[in-house]
Amino acid sequence: MKKTALITGGSRGIGFGIAVELAKARFNLVINGVRKQEAVQPILDGLKMFGVKVAYAQGNISDKLDREKIFQTVISEFGHLNVLVNNAGIAPRERKDILEATEDIFDEVLSTNLKGPYFLTQLFANHMVQQKKENPEFSGCIINVSSVSATVASVNRGEYCISKAGIAMATKLWAARLGEFGIPVYEIQPGVIKTDMTAGVTEKYDHLFEQGISIQKRWGTPEDVGKVAAAMATGMLPYSTGQVVLVDGGMTIQRL
């Protein structure tokens, strides 16, 4: 039976880069996003060109009912899930110094970036545990996409940093809880990746790369992240549950 992966926020940016690499690895896909299906249909059709089945699950992961609809879409389309990729996330709609940040934006970011993935994981973790009990040969894993912002402070987007630090702890928690069932949980921490989310700061980071912000003097790409996710999803890191892989070009290595 072909394996199935759900990628939240999988129709653009890092999520799409992961979707492409998992399609290359022959996973059937469920792509989640907030846009209507007509808007993403060309993207879904492109993924189908890899010879896999692709379904779309529209929904906002911060909403409990939407999370349940996403779950039902996966089960109705494929009957099971092998890989959950918690990728969807948002930046604060306004970058404000933490001395001036608002509760509304804090709540919005935390609800999408932390609460949503946490409880979506709960839904699918229970499903995977049940699959494992029914079939000991069942293979499943969970991949959280956080950010170097889990450990690197940006005082003009504190809510984002806190949400990613929370995901880092969630990775450890779920790894500890699911270990007895042989379901590994991994985390990817991307650095500066060229996506629509970073389009507005292109000039800033072009300059920082020239100044040596990272050891590898280039932007990261969604493909860079996708290749790591594919290694995790295909079982290439079988004894590394709870571990973090940084995809940041060496940005977080302390240097003198």
Q: What is the pLDDT of residues 87-133, one digit of tens each?
A: 999 999 999 999 999 999 999 999 999 999 999 999 999 999 999 99
| Sheet containing strand 83-86, strands side by side | 54-58, 28-33, 4-8, 83-86, 141-145, 185-190, 244-247
Is pLDDT above 90 for 199?
A: no
211 pLDDT band (50/70/90 cuts)? Answer: very high
Active-site amino acid positions: 160
Is pLDDT above 90 for 150?
A: yes
User: What pTM did the predictor assign?
Assistant: 0.97
25 pLDDT band (50/70/90 cuts)? Answer: very high
pLDDT of residue 1: 80
In a domain, 46, yes or no: yes
In a domain, 88, yes or no: yes
pLDDT of residue 170: 98
Task: Specify the number of domains making up the chain.
Answer: 1
In a domain, 139, yes or no: yes
In a domain, 252, yes or no: no
In a domain, 34, yes or no: yes
CATH code of residue 144: 3.40.50.720
200 pLDDT band (50/70/90 cuts)? Answer: confident
In a domain, 250, yes or no: no
Q: What is the pLDDT of residues 64-99, one digit of tens each?
A: 999 999 999 999 999 999 999 999 999 999 999 999
pLDDT of residue 196: 83
In a domain, 103, yes or no: yes
pLDDT of residue 67: 98
pLDDT of residue 185: 99
pLDDT of residue 197: 79
Q: What range defines the domain where residue 167 resides?
A: 4-245
> Whole-number mean pLDDT of the chain?
97
pLDDT of residue 57: 98
Q: How far apart are CA 74 and CA 157, in angstroms?
A: 34
Burial of 213 (0-12, 13-18, 19+ CB in 10 A): middle
Is pLDDT above 90 for 198?
A: no
In a domain, 254, yes or no: no
Give the pLDDT mean for 224-242: 98
